[in-house]
């Protein structure tokens, strides 16, 4: 019988959560043997993201204990533009402007950069090796059999590591999304979110990458409608206005059901989308995945118990994400009536948009 190759830590998934966890364990410094297993042949591709993240200052204003400035120290070619604010379009077509600062990214370059950081920190990796079985300390792919003292599920919204352990709940309220990448007259510093009633339980987004004259345009919504068909229809409506030319298509799914109740069980830990670390109000999770990955990696590097990671998640992330979930549920309720949602947006404009967009 072929022997399992043994590691101190195996991380399943080389997205932002897995790569940041791996880099923070830093095998070159700690001497730990870490393996990163990724199902895709090329990290970050296909790109499945709206590519907008808050600035580090905005992240700090939400999580004062974030403690990860170096994660935002990225090569300039990762940045695709600046975000000066958000334009919200209400069901009646009224536009409101909110002052929330962010950055547009080239997400595939961000993922590649975070992965390169992990490799430079001494992490071993296998690309194109999808994990199909997780049994206690043992992990199998089509190409290899491995075992580890600690197993990390950084494997996204449909996490296999999470599913292998009954202590973890599955992600709930998963929102399907479709997106296109387009060239055109996309030089605005404002990203747009349209909350029209034809997009039930979700929104249409138009995120200009103003450094390069491109945009990430997409639709996420819950309900019986075909997301791709409806997105194509909206794109046809705006095509001439922007001189829009499609250069790529993609899609994905966002877990909007909130942070999982349990993110650590014995030698297992979940991070990023696998743990439900996404703002239920807006579907953003990249910054959270990077931040929590760093916390988890540092705790493992210092030989501290995984329960410390869970405590940190519960102290810092949980209150904010719980508030965000409550706000999202209120929004769902108000969206049953176009007039009620119109009034909610009017109120958000009066009181400030932070609660509407973050929770």
Contacting positions for ligand FAD (CB under 6 A): 12-18, 37-40, 48-53, 130-131, 154-156, 160, 177, 179, 218, 252-254, 272-274, 278, 283-287, 289
Task: Output the 3-class SS for 227-277.
Answer: HHHHHHHHHHHHHHHHCCEEEEEEEEEEECCCCCCCCEECCEEECHHHHCC
Question: Closest distance between ligand FAD and the C-beta of residue 347, in Å?
Answer: 25
Residues 6+ apart with CB under 8 A from 208: 81, 104, 186, 187, 188, 189, 190, 191, 214, 215
Tokens 């102290």 correspond to what residue?
A: 315
Q: Nearer to ligand FAD by C-beta: 257 or 338?
A: 257
Give me 318's structure tokens: 């949980």
CA dist., res. 179 & res. 217, Å (int): 6
Question: Closest distance between ligand FAD and the C-beta of residue 229, in Å?
Answer: 16
CA dist., res. 278 & res. 317, Å (int): 10
Question: Closest distance between ligand FAD and the C-beta of residue 31, in Å?
Answer: 25
Q: Nearer to ligand FAD by C-beta: 138 or 342?
A: 138
DSSP state of 4: P
What is the H or E stretch that residue 174 is in?
strand 174-183
Question: Closest distance between ligand FAD and the C-beta of residue 343, in Å?
Answer: 27
Question: Closest distance between ligand FAD and the C-beta of residue 13, in Å?
Answer: 3
CA dist., res. 118 & res. 318, Å (int): 27
Question: Closest distance between ligand FAD and the C-beta of residue 16, in Å?
Answer: 4
CA dist., res. 265 & res. 168, Å (int): 8
Q: Nearer to ligand FAD by C-beta: 131 or 244?
A: 131
Question: Closest distance between ligand FAD and the C-beta of residue 171, in Å?
Answer: 11
Question: Closest distance between ligand FAD and the C-beta of residue 92, in Å?
Answer: 25
Q: Nearer to ligand FAD by C-beta: 238 or 253?
A: 253
Q: Nearer to ligand FAD by C-beta: 291 or 345?
A: 291
Q: Phi, psi at residue 52, to the nearest 5°?
A: -100, 135
Q: Do residues 159 and 153 touch, judged by C-beta distance below 8 A? A: yes
Report how far Cα 209 is from the mean position of its chain's Cα atoms. Answer: 18
DSSP state of 147: E
């Amino acid at each position: 019988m072929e022997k399992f190759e043994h590691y101190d830590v195996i991380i399943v998934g080389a997205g932002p959560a897995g790569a940041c966890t791996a880099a923070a364990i830093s095998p070159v410094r700690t001497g730990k043997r870490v393996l990163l297993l990724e199902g895709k042949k090329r990290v970050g591709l296909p790109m499945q993201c709206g590519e907008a993240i808050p600035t580090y200052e905005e992240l700090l204003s939400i999580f004062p204990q974030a403690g990860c400035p170096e994660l935002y120290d990225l090569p300039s070619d990762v940045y695709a533009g600046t975000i000066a604010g958000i334009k919200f379009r209400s069901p009646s077509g009224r536009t409101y402007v909110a002052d929330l600062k962010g950055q547009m990214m080239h997400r595939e370059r961000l993922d590649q950069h975070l992965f390169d950081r992990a490799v430079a920190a001494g992490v071993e990796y296998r690309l194109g090796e999808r994990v199909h079985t997780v049994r206690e300390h043992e992990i199998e792919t089509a190409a290899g059999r491995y075992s580890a003292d600690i197993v990390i599920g950084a494997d996204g919204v449909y996490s296999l590591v999470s599913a292998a352990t009954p202590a973890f709940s599955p992600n709930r309220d998963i929102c399907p999304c479709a997106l296109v990448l387009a060239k055109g007259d996309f030089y605005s510093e404002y990203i747009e979110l349209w909350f029209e009633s034809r997009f039930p339980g979700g929104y249409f987004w138009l995120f200009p990458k103003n450094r390069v004259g491109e945009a990430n345009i997409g639709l996420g919504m819950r309900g019986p409608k075909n997301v791709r068909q409806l997105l194509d229809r909206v794109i046809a409506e705006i095509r001439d206005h922007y001189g829009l030319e499609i250069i790529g298509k993609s899609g994905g799914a966002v877990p909007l059901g909130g942070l999982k109740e349990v993110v650590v069980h014995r030698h297992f830990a979940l991070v990023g989308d696998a743990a439900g670390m996404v703002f239920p109000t807006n579907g953003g999770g990249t910054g959270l995945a990077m931040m929590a990955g760093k916390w988890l990696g540092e705790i493992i590097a210092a030989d501290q118990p995984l329960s410390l990671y869970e405590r940190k998640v519960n102290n810092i992330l949980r209150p904010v994400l719980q508030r965000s979930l409550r706000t999202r549920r209120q929004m769902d309720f108000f969206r049953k009536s176009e007039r009620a949602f119109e009034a909610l947006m009017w109120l958000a404009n009066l009181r400030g948009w932070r609660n509407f967009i973050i929770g």
